[in-house]
Amino acid sequence: MRNISVLRQILTQFLFILLGSFVLLPIWGMIRLAFDGSLRGRPTEFFFFPKEWSFTPFLQVLDKPYQSVEFEVLLKNSLLTSAGAALFAILLGMSLAYAFARFRFYARKQGLFTILLTAFLPPVAFMTPLYIVLGMLQIRNTLFGLVLVYASFALPFCIWNMRAAFQSISKEIEEAAFLDGAGDFQTFQKITLPLALPSIGISGLIAFLMAYSEFAIGWLFVDKASNVTLAMSIYAMMQTQYSGGAQPWSYLGSLAIIMSIPVIIVFLIFQYTLLERMLFGSTE
Amino acid sequence: MNKNIFIRVIFIALVLFLAWNLRAHAVEKLNIDFDEDDYMRAGQEYTHLIRTSNWSGFLDTNYRPEHPPLAKIVIGLSLLSTPERDLIPDAPTTAQPNKNIPSDLIQPARTTNAIIGVLTVLLLTIINPVAGLALATHSLTIKYVSQVMLEAFPAFTSFVTVLAYLQFKKKEKKNWLVVSAIFLGLTAASKYLYCIIGIAILIDWFLESKSKQSFKLFFRQAFIWGFIAFAIFFVSNPYLWIDPIGRLQESIFYHAGYSSSAAEVENANFPFWQPFNWLFFTPMVWQRNAFLIAPDIWITFLAFIGLKHLWKRERVYVLWLGIALLFLLFWQTKWPQYIIILTVPLSLSAAEGITSLWNQLLEWWKNRRVQKTVVNKNEARRAIPWLVPGLIAFVIFTIFPLLFQFIVSMTDFNSASIRDGFQGGIWRAFWEGITGQIPISEWDGSRANKVRFTGLTTYPYVFEAIATGFGSSNSILFFNIMWAIVSVFLQSGLGLGVALLLQQRGVKLTKFWQALFILPWAIPEMIGALMWFNIFQEEWGWLYLAAKKFGDDSLFGLFVNNLENSSSLWLITFLLPALWYGFPFMMLAASTGLKFIPSEVYDASAMDGANRFQTFRYITFPLLLPLLLPAIIVRGIFAFNQFYLFQTFFYPVGTLATLSYNIFNPTGYFGSGEFATSAVINIITVLMLVVFVAMFNRWSKAEDGVTHA
């Protein structure tokens, strides 16, 4: 195949510019708000560039973003819950996935089907009952409760994913180790785990991201201001803004941007691996 | 053989009995609806002409001249045995229905229509008894053939038109063609809309002649057929005799004008997909006592399943259904009675759906006995320590909540009984109800401070509510399905297109563009939705501010005005963000897939002289589709569950949102704090997803078989 002609090159680039503007338009809308120091509430007038370029919204939002809770606390809560959720999802998911990948036991197929099914259920479906479960376990309103809830959302997905990874590791290697007298756990630890580590890492990352950007469910379980995560605080801010809240919209914009940046970096680095996991991992 | 015929006759008799009773019941109970008074007056005029033998009066009589007179003459004939009454007063089309029509006029007119409706059922039952059963029970059909409307007669004649055409196709006898043409003419002389059957027949006929390479014969016969139909139309339409062209124009232009400017059409403000909403609807929500059963939505589902088989068996019915739906999607007037033009093929398709479901069930049952799962006792024992911790978590956080939701769905738990419920009332009510200690108290939306056991009685209410959009005819269920299909279709289309553009050899800056296009995928969904809300919000959204600044005549102003006046355009405010958010994923998936296609394939096709389109159509696309399909299905299910977008958009109308949104925000007549109805929506959603995932699972297994073979 030859290289494309100049005309096609121009046409292609033109289409890309169009699509690029479609992609950037809403993002720019947010940036424009975030960097505008002149806003005193909602925007009331159309303007394409910020009226008054300024970093103050960022500085102010970093100071006291939500109900006098420090930004560091929000960030810490977000990171703690996300990391905790990822850890739980990996640990619990790993052992289940390994069992499903390696051992033939009763009702294995039905079990797998159930897990695949729950991976496709909307998280909202679990809202009310989880409220009660957390209440019974006395961990409602705590970060630990949120960790468990988010871990349970990511769990089916992690199981599905890691099972595929474990299955792709040849059974013969494990059996050799097993015959040498290593127990199941030792075999897993010495042989399977290192080989499957990349998949496990990606599963954890996805669990982390799921927890990082969840807000609606979390909002039901936490009403103590000091246990609020970043995503939840953005949602709360949004709701007060809708009802005519006093904070400038720039705060919302800058907080949203601050929250998105780490995720964007992660996605740009891992794009193909993430895609493969989200896609082909779930269909094997 | 004789026994079979006997059973068939008994079945047909039963269906007819059912059809007649349901329609007779509706004739008796239905309230006077819009248009009934108008057509009653039109019928009365004809009755008067016949009684006074004033035959020349037919030339100038056609009350509501937008519809040709034949179906009105039928109404007139049915009134001959009734006492002479004053004409129903003239009223504009916007007026409320006239409730004062004497019942000795309304009953015979309605009964005549109902009898014609039963005749349609009879014909259908002879062809396919199950389809006859579907049509006999279809509540929307029952309503509009049991009223003084113009539907029953043309529905019957248009069906005869097809039947006669099919006889002609099978036996090649021209007599049948003449019959078909005559009935098409009668259909046209009753209501124009039903003539879409003519288009379906012509297409089928054309395809048939294409396979036989006999175009000349087709054109000659079709011309004669059309000519006879038109002649019959003219003969049975005396109102046209004096000034044919003028009056024909008048009636046709009326419809064009009516659909684009009539006040009642604008007030109804139906979205373009309203015909589908009607297919998910049942008039039972308007008047409970007039209908005994409402299987409409199930007939629609079954019809969808049966389409493929019906196409194989008799193409013309699918064409009929398809063209009718397509026409109704584009036609701006979307009254519910228009659905009657397609309920016959719909019923036939539903019958095919039942047959194919039944066959699949049999097949599954046979295969089930063959399959044996391999269980190794030693391995099962070794698996226990690996399973226990994860299973405990899985049971507590996933299985238990689902079970709990199911239990709540069988109670009337709501915000009034919240204290009792959380203190064990839910369990108590469920346990006492299930063991029969307390009677089932049917769910009626009332609230008490103790949780009550409702059994499964809430399900029909809630299902009806989501299917009919709380009776508003904006089906949430259909919206949800349409949303999943349309948004994923757009995402895949754009994603594939961009991937193909990026893949061209020698394109500059591909790395940069790809990184840019991935951005929306990387932004958390809620923030993305917020960014778009920032554009579409009604007071301070960018678009609205722009409209304010540049005036109503600017591009922005026009867009905003259209957005506010159209329920269809609202969809765009959701589709754009979904497209924005979803296409990068599909783009990446398509790029990955394209890498698997070896370049030799392209070289070979270039050697064969294929152009770009042909290469795509016959090489790239078929090779890529199996790789893309998992992505499409996964994204489809996510779109079906889409929640954060609708939640962030804060749009107050719950019918333009997914079921997930409605679980979180129970609206409509459920009110807030109705945990039980929310749980029911939840369980229904889960059940639907079970069906989707089972289909998906089956499909991926079939795919495995292909790749391993």
Q: CA B460, CA B680: separation in Å to the nearest integer?
A: 10
Q: CA B93, CA B41: separation in Å to the nearest integer?
A: 13
What pLDDT, on a 0 to 100 scale, did the predictor assign at position B506? 83
* Residue A36 or B305, more confident: B305
* Residue B60 or B179, more confident: B179
What pLDDT, on a 0 to 100 scale, did the predictor assign at position B299? 96
The yes-or-no verdict on residue A155 having pLDDT over 90 is: no
Average pLDDT of every residue of chain A? 81
Nearest Cα residue in chain A from B531: A26
φ and ψ at residue B63, rounded to 5 degrees: -65, 140
Q: What is the pLDDT of residues B534-593, one digit of tens each?
A: 888 877 788 888 888 887 778 788 887 777 777 777 788 889 999 999 898 888 888 878
What percent of chain B lies above the pLDDT cut of 90?
39
| Every domain of chain B and the residues it spans | 2-90+100-355, 363-468, 476-708
What pLDDT, on a 0 to 100 scale, did the predictor assign at position B250? 85
The yes-or-no verdict on residue B667 having pLDDT over 60 is: no
Question: Which of B484, B495, B691 is CA-nearest to residue B592?
Answer: B495
The yes-or-no verdict on residue B82 having pLDDT over 60 is: yes
* Residue A94 or B665, more confident: A94
Residue B382, amino acid = R
What pLDDT, on a 0 to 100 scale, did the predictor assign at position B220? 92
The mean pLDDT value for B258-266 works out to 78
Collapsed DSSP state (helix, strand, coil) of residue A53: strand
The yes-or-no verdict on residue A34 having pLDDT over 70 is: yes
Let me know: does B353 contact B305? Beta carbons within 8 Å: yes
CA-to-CA dists, residue B109 to B43, B65, B183, B236, B341, angstroms: 9, 20, 22, 20, 21
Q: What is the pLDDT of residues B92-134, one digit of tens each?
A: 777 788 888 888 889 999 999 999 999 999 999 999 999 999 9
What pLDDT, on a 0 to 100 scale, did the predictor assign at position B447? 79
The mean pLDDT value for B481-485 works out to 92
The yes-or-no verdict on residue B706 having pLDDT over 50 is: no
What percent of chain B lies above the pLDDT cut of 70?
95
Q: CA B110, CA B106: separation in Å to the nearest integer?
A: 6
What pLDDT, on a 0 to 100 scale, did the predictor assign at position B348? 96
What pLDDT, on a 0 to 100 scale, did the predictor assign at position B426? 86
In chain B, what residues touch A161 (CB-CB under 8 Å)?
none
Q: CA A150, CA A140: separation in Å to the nearest integer?
A: 13
Model-level pTM greater than 0.95?
no
What pLDDT, on a 0 to 100 scale, did the predictor assign at position B372? 60
What pLDDT, on a 0 to 100 scale, did the predictor assign at position B708? 34
Across the interface, do B398 and A152 touch by the CB < 8 Å criterion?
Answer: yes
The yes-or-no verdict on residue B183 having pLDDT over 80 is: yes
> ipTM for the complex?
0.84
What pLDDT, on a 0 to 100 scale, did the predictor assign at position B266? 77
Q: What is the dihedral of CA B300, B301, B302, B304, to 10 degrees?
A: 90
Across the interface, do A27 and B519 touch by the CB < 8 Å criterion?
Answer: yes
Nearest Cα residue in chain B from A44: B540
The yes-or-no verdict on residue B703 having pLDDT over 60 is: no
Across the interface, do B534 and A30 touch by the CB < 8 Å criterion?
Answer: yes
Strand partners, B411: B453
Question: Which of B165, B152, B169 is CA-nearest to residue B71?
Answer: B152
Q: CA A225, CA A68: separation in Å to the nearest integer?
A: 9
Instruction: Point out the least confidently predicted range of A98-112, A164-178, B384-398.
Output: A164-178
Helix axes B103-127, B152-171, angle to 10 degrees: 20
CATH topology classification for B476-708:
MetI-like fold (1.10.3720)
Across the interface, do B408 and A130 touch by the CB < 8 Å criterion?
Answer: no
Q: CA B282, CA B287: separation in Å to the nearest integer?
A: 10
Highest mean pLDDT among A52-66, A258-272, B365-379, B448-462: B448-462
The mean pLDDT value for A227-240 works out to 81
What percent of chain A lies above the pLDDT cut of 90?
11
Closest partner residue to B603 (CB to CB) among A1, A9, A99 is: A1
Across the interface, do A213 and B525 touch by the CB < 8 Å criterion?
Answer: yes
Across the interface, do A26 and B532 touch by the CB < 8 Å criterion?
Answer: yes
Nearest Cα residue in chain A from B651: A242
What percent of chain A lies above the pLDDT cut of 70?
90
The yes-or-no verdict on residue A218 having pLDDT over 50 is: yes
Quick one: pLDDT band at residue A277, thresholds 50, 70, 90? Answer: low
Average pLDDT of every residue of chain B? 86
The mean pLDDT value for B662-689 works out to 75
Structural domains of chain A in order of their starting residue, each with its CATH number: 6-54 (no CATH), 63-279 (1.10.3720.10)
Let me know: does B124 contact B159? Beta carbons within 8 Å: yes
